[in-house]
Amino acid sequence: MNINCSGQLVDLSVPKIMGILNITPDSFYANSRYDDLSKVLIQVEKMISAGATFLDIGGHSTRPGARPVDGDEELSRVIPVVESILKRFPEALISIDTFRSEVASKCVEAGAVMVNDVSGGLLDDKMFETVASLNVPYVLMHSRGTPETMQQMTDYDDLVIDVLDDLQQKVAQLRQFGQKDIIVDLGFGFAKTADQNYILLNHLRDFEVMNCPMLVGVSRKSMIWRKLNITANEALNATTVLNTIALMKGANILRVHDVAEAIEVVKLVDFLTVGEK
């Protein structure tokens, strides 16, 4: 299972790690916030050295209740970071975490090779057409509403079927625009209750019918620390547990704050399943 990142084929039959770089002042996990280019580059070097395949750069926090920023502010945060990373690490594979087609387009022009849209096209009706024209992989995430409203939109007739149906419809729309590589993200924490997140994780295999690679992003999220009555800072061990489960249920990409620990998970799960391949 390969995806084409601007001419570089990435084999997802062995799961890959995507490191999180939040260029925002208000992301939920303080240690993932970077507001100084030198600090960004230090963290990028650590992530690449630890084994990250992708770097996911976001300039707009999407945590519940996050303060919205306009497109110009988002671009002013992320473009210098994309350019600086590629100047220092020209082989880096950068994903731009945005729901705006204009930001996606300008970041790809600056050298990003993937678009990660937490709104699944809901917040910009030009996103699907734009990303297809950019000819880069697109992470299609399930969500509802906006960061301000999504936690009031958690009513489903049948959670798994409803999420699957929504994603399948959007995959079909993307294919009509000519989008080739689509990566599916079930949207853990987005318009989902804590319990619903665990139901979806347990049913991850059901989404293989879409024949798309699957990205799982549960790193240090509230679905972990609220359940355990701890903080995001204390949630690494539990994140590792859920990442292990995700890989054993078919995840192809793990989006994480802690790259070295996630790489260990990939290696150990691979050792565990080597006799089944």
Residue 17 to residue 273: CA distance in whole angstroms: 18
Per the residue annotation, which of 39, 77, 221, 249 is the catalytic one?
221
Tokens of 138: 């697109």
255 in active site: yes
Per the residue annotation, which of 16, 126, 255, 267 is the catalytic one?
255
221 in active site: yes
Residue 2 to residue 13: CA distance in whole angstroms: 8
The set of catalytic residues is 221, 255
